[in-house]
Each structure stands twice: as C-alpha cells, then as structure tokens.
C-alpha cells in the first residue's frame, strides 16, 4: 500500500471515504414494514456525513497487515454505527441537548425523543448484527470472534460508554488531569483503538502486534481530542463548522484550560510522534496511514 | 431432565431461579473506578428481581438438547441484560415515564435521566461483551457464533426493538390485529425465541430443530403476552404487583379489547397447546419445560 509520490493525499482520502460510504450504504436497514420509522431514524443519522475516520482507520490497518477479501467491511460499517449511536444519545435533551449536528437537525429533533432513544439502541445493536455476519466471510472464524470481542470491550463500560459516564458525572466540575485523561482515553481513544485493533486482528496480526497497534491508537485518539480542544480556541467557526470558544463559555476543563495552547500543541506533537514511532516499529507498512495520522493532528477542522 | 413425581414444580422453579441469580451475579460489572456510577446503575436494575424467565428458558432448552459445560451461562446473563436494558429505556420520561417498577424506583429516578440512557446502553453492550466470552468456553465456536447472531437479530430492528418502535408509534391509536400481532411477536416473543433458539443452538441442535423451537417460542411469547392482557382485566392488584384495568384507562388496544376475555383465553390455550405439541414432536424431552409453559399461560401474576 505504499503510495506513489504523485498521488495527492486529499484525493486518496476522498476516494477512501467514498468507499466507506458505499460499504455503509450496503449495510443499512431497509425502510419498510412496521418498524419503518426506526429504520428511517437509523439511516438519517448514518447518512449525516462526517469524517468516517473510524472505518477508514479500520480498513487501513487491515490493509497494512495484508488483509484480503471482504471480512473487514461489516466491521467498518459496525464501528461507524457504534459511533453514530453515541452521537444520537449524546444529543438527547437529558445529555447535551443539541438541536443541530453538522448543520442538520439532530435525530430526536426530527423523529422525536422516544425514537431518538430507541433508534440509537437499534444502531448499537445493528452493529453486532452486522459484525456477526462476518463469520460467513472468512475461513478464520477465530479472528472474527476476537475482533468482535475487542469492539464490544472498547465500546462498553470499560471503554467509550465508561468515558461518557465519567464525562456526564463531571460536567461543570473542576476535574484533574487524571480524570480528563480517563475521559479522553475512553470517550475518544477507545473507538480508535477498536478500529485499528479489529482491522489488525481480522488481517491475522499476532497478539503482540495488536498490542502495539492499541498503544498507537490510544495516542492517536488522545492527540485527535486535544487537537479539538486547541481548535476550539484557535479555529475559525466557518472552517470547523461549530461555534468556537464554547469550552470557555461552558467552563469546560480541557487540555487547553489545564496547560495552555502551547503546551497542548506540544502534547499533540509528542503523542503523534509516539504513534508514528510505534507503527514504524512494526514489520508492516502503510504510508497512507502515516499521512492520515499527520493530517489528523494538524487538521484545521 | 425427567422430574421425579415427588418433586414440587414451584420448588424446582425457585431452585432454577436461584441458579440464574448466581450466574447473573458472576457476570455483573465491578463497581469501581471512574465509571463506578454506571456500574451501579447497571447492577441496580439487574438486581431488581423479576421472573428471570428468559435465562431459565434458555437454560432449560439447552438442557433439553443435552447441553454440557458452562457455555450457556454467559448467554443466560446476556439475555437478561438485554431484557433489562429494554425495561430501563422503556421507563424513561420520553417513553412510558414510569417512576416505579416492581415496587422500586426506576433506574433514571435513582441515577438521573442521562445515566438511565447511558446505563441502558451499557447493559445492552455488556450483553455482547459477555456473550463473546463464550468462545473461551467451547470447542464448538460455530455454535457460539450462530447463537450470538440469533440473539442480535431477535434483539434488533427485526425483533424486540422493531416491536418497541411500532408500539411507540401506535400509542393511543386504534390498531388492527395485524399491527398488534407484529408488536407482540417482536416486543415480547422475539426475546423468548432468542432464549430458546440460543439454548438449542449452543447444545448442538440442528437447523430444523432450531426452527421448531423458534415456532414453539413464538407461541409461548404470544400466549404469555395475551395472558398479561387478561390479568389486567381479571387480576388482583396485590397479586400481580401493578395497577389493574390500566389498559382500559389508557385506551390501549389489547387482545382483550379486540376479542373479549373469553376468546382471548381460548387463544392462550390454543397457542400453548401448539407450543407443547411442537416441543413434544421433537426427539428431546424436558418435563420441567413443559410444566413451565403450562404455568406461564395459567399464571395469576
């Protein structure tokens, strides 16, 4: 997967994003029958755009370890469904109470609060329905079982949902660096870890390699989140697509409020160097993945 | 599993319920760390009692097909977690808005609405975390994969959650028998089907046998739900533990409002006879399961 020097990274990223869109579309539920509204709510939220970062990372790590066939595709759709489920529930009145996301009305504003809750549940569950179909696409069922287990562990109370729990509980409170790290490592890094670890596992990577990928993914997730904190202070509203200085207004503790913009930027560089160093130490290479990590930590939106 | 004539059914049921309680307890998350509140919310709702019908049906169908070892246990805990997840979300203000369940405050009343939503999510996800550990407990990974897939399909938009979607959408509307059947078969029967089908699959039952079990389970679930409709009209509040005549007050369409108590009772008998006939037609026998089905459709609470 080494890229020719003439291929433009942005074009390549766009092409990969298009591929993810096609995969997702193939796995969405049909809008018919007595649960049609639920299917429409699921599809509405899944088709709201976004970076598709997690499925791309999953697919690229899978390719990096020589993955072949279609077995990664249901996992690519599944990780985006899990992520989208968390956004739908995060937007609910009892949580962040957001009416808009990416310029569109949030799911519960279109379909009502009850369907926001149930549609989010259905999306989380659908991720597993889809992942488990991957047993039909492989002659290595063990790798599918291990990958599915990684996805479940990183999504649940010991991963993303645990991070959300701590985030909700500490809202508006002055928190320590330790708690902030816990929230970032779980709310954000855990699904990045799941993406890259599942991709590696499905391609047949060994335990030791998957452990290295996990470490790299944790640093990437953390760097990605701290970059978000920085953009909230230094970004342009029309570029990042959401109001800036919202953390200051909401008295939210972030890396920037804890250590200032300069030190936070140093931290992002340190973390991304660490991640790239770990990936470079592996026998497998994926130059696009390297470029993607660099872009994620220097992005302006 | 043929029972001696001297063994009392109620005692045997109580013993099996105790066994389920022990299994569930073993699989609950530990209450520690930064997500401790989430763990407490999950455990609070899981320890609220109840019939434990689904895990018992799973375990009994598993035994009926000669299941051995501990592979059914994570599935028994998982099906109760999925069921409890649906109760927590059903009780939320945006859905049924119930403050009490089985005489205790509902989860969101104790832990707040945000934790009600996230704790319910975590319980649904935890079911998969646990189910996927079953690969370590078997030398037949295919049966675990198939059983997990059955659980996911019957839980999601084509099962329980689809039924909840239709239920929410049709609340307070005059609905046809067709819609009512769809709601009952999904909201209630689907998890009964998942329990019995997963139990059979894990024990090594063949596709044809699992299909018969599915049919029987559908009838059992339907009979169970219609019995609920009847108890709402003929039951005693202190016996069933919730207000009677609530369907009439809420102008809810049920089998009783559609066809009257007599015809509804006939339907329960017809469905339970059908289920027992299907189970009797199999080569495998489980006398306790027969007695349990009889008790479910004649229960007074």
Rounded Cα distance between B238 and B255, Å, is 23
| Residues from chain A contacting residue B122 (CB–CB below 8 Å) | 156-157, 161-162, 165
Residue of A nearest to B29 (CA): A157
Q: Do A126 and B156 touch (CB under 8 A)?
A: yes
Q: Are B149 and B185 in contact (CB under 8 A)?
A: no
Indicate the residue of B92, B152, B165 with minimum beta-carbon distance to A37.
Answer: B165
The predicted complex's ipTM stands at 0.95
Please give the backbone phi and psi of residue A170, each rounded to the nearest 5 degrees, phi first.
Answer: -100, 10
pLDDT of B4: 52
Q: What is the pLDDT of residues B245-301, one digit of tens each?
A: 888 777 889 999 999 999 999 999 999 999 999 999 999 999 999 999 999 988 877
Q: What is the pLDDT of residues B29-45, one digit of tens each?
A: 999 999 999 999 999 99
Look at residue A191 and tell me whether its pLDDT is greater than 60.
Answer: yes
Q: What is the pLDDT of residues B79-97, one digit of tens each?
A: 999 999 999 999 999 999 9
pLDDT of A4: 52
Indicate the residue of A38, A142, A163 with minimum beta-carbon distance to B162.
Answer: A38
**A172 in reach of chain B (CB within 8 A):** no
Residue of A156 and B50 predicted with greater confidence:
A156
- Name the CA dihedral angle for A81, A86, A90, A93, rounded to a multiple of 10 degrees: 60
* Averaged pLDDT score across all residues of chain A: 94
A108: CB partners within 8 A, 6+ apart:
A88, A91, A92, A93, A115, A116, A117
CA angle, residues B93, A84, A286, in degrees to nearest 5:
160
**A116 in reach of chain B (CB within 8 A):** yes
Question: Alpha helix locations (H) across chain A?
Answer: 9-27, 36-46, 53-64, 72-91, 107-111, 113-131, 141-155, 160-169, 177-183, 190-202, 207-234, 237-240, 246-249, 255-280, 287-298
* Averaged pLDDT score across all residues of chain B: 94
Residue of A4 and A101 predicted with greater confidence:
A101
| Residues from chain B contacting residue A186 (CB–CB below 8 Å) | 35
Query: Which structure tokens are listed for B246?
Result: 């609530």
pLDDT of A21: 98
| Residues from chain B contacting residue A182 (CB–CB below 8 Å) | 34
pLDDT of A7: 67
| Residues from chain B contacting residue A122 (CB–CB below 8 Å) | 156-157, 161-162, 165
Q: What is the pTM of this model?
A: 0.96
Residue of A nearest to B129 (CA): A152
Residue B6's pLDDT band (cuts 50, 70, 90):
very low
Our CA-based measurement puts residue B6 at a distance from the nearest CA of chain A, in whole angstroms, of 44
Residue/partner pairs of B9-17 with CB below 8 Å, 24 or more apart: B9/B288, B9/B291, B9/B295, B12/B288, B13/B56, B13/B292, B13/B295, B16/B56, B16/B59, B16/B60, B16/B288, B17/B51, B17/B52, B17/B56
DSSP symbols for A77-129: HHHHHHHHHHHHHHHSTTTT--SEETTEE-HHHHH-HHHHHHHHHHHHHHHHH
Q: Do B38 and A165 touch (CB under 8 A)?
A: yes
CA A218 to chain centre: 12
Bridge partner residues of A104 (DSSP): A101
Please give the backbone phi and psi of residue A171, each rounded to the nearest 5 degrees, phi first.
Answer: -60, 130
**A34 in reach of chain B (CB within 8 A):** yes
Query: Which structure tokens are listed for B292?
Result: 């349990």
**B140 in reach of chain A (CB within 8 A):** no
**A145 in reach of chain B (CB within 8 A):** yes
Q: Are A198 and A178 in contact (CB under 8 A)?
A: no
B positions 185-204 inside 8 Å of A (CB):
186
Residue of A nearest to B134 (CA): A145
Q: What is the pLDDT of residues A78-91, one digit of tens each?
A: 999 999 999 999 99
Bridge partner residues of B101 (DSSP): B104
pLDDT of A6: 45
What percent of chain B clears pLDDT 90, i.e. is strictly above it? Answer: 85
**B161 in reach of chain A (CB within 8 A):** yes
**A182 in reach of chain B (CB within 8 A):** yes
**B177 in reach of chain A (CB within 8 A):** no
Q: What is the average pLDDT across A106-124?
A: 98
B98: CB partners within 8 A, 6+ apart:
B90, B91, B106
Residue A146's pLDDT band (cuts 50, 70, 90):
very high
Q: What is the pLDDT of residues B101-147, one digit of tens each?
A: 988 999 999 999 999 999 999 999 999 999 999 999 998 999 999 99
pLDDT of B236: 77
CA angle, residues B228, A36, B75, in degrees to nearest 5:
55
Rounded Cα distance between B178 and B197, Å, is 25
Q: What is the average pLDDT across B195-209?
A: 97
pLDDT of B102: 87
pLDDT of B247: 82
Q: What is the average pLDDT across A254-269?
A: 95
Indicate the residue of A113, A145, A165 with minimum beta-carbon distance to B118.
Answer: A165
Q: Are B207 and B255 in contact (CB under 8 A)?
A: no
| Residues from chain A contacting residue B112 (CB–CB below 8 Å) | 94
pLDDT of A298: 84
């Amino acid at each position: 997967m080494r890229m020719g020097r003439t291929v433009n990274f942005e074009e390549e990223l766009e092409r990969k994003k298009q591929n993810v869109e096609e995969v997702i579309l193939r796995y969405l539920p049909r809008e018919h029958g007595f649960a049609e509204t639920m299917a429409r709510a699921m599809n509405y939220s899944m088709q709201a755009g976004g970076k598709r970062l997690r499925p791309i990372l999953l697919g690229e790590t899978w390719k990096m370890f020589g993955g072949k066939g279609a077995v990664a595709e249901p996992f690519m759709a599944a990780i985006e469904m899990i992520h989208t489920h968390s956004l739908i529930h995060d937007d609910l009145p009892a949580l962040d109470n957001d009416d808009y996301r990416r310029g569109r009305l949030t799911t519960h504003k279109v379909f009502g609060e009850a369907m926001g809750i149930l549609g989010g549940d259905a999306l989380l569950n659908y991720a597993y329905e889809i992942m488990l179909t991957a047993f039909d696409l492989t002659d290595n069922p063990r790798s599918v079982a291990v990958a599915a287990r990684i996805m479940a562990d990183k999504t649940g109370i010991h991963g993303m949902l645990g991070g959300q729990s701590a985030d909700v509980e500490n809202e508006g409170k002055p928190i320590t660096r330790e708690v902030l790290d816990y929230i970032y490592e779980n709310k954000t890094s855990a699904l990045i870890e799941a993406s890259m670890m599942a991709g590696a596992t499905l391609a047949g990577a060994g335990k030791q390699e998957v452990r290295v990928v996990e470490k790299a993914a944790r640093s990437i997730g953390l760097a990605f989140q701290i970059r978000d904190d920085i953009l909230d202070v230094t970004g342009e509203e029309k570029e990042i697509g959401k109001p800036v200085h919202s953390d200051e207004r909401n008295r939210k503790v972030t890396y920037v409020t804890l250590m200032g913009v300069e030190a936070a930027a140093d931290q992002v560089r340190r973390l991304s160097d660490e991640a790239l160093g770990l990936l470079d130490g592996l026998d497998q290479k994926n130059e696009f993945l390297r470029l993607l990590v660099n872009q994620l930590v220097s992005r302006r939106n």
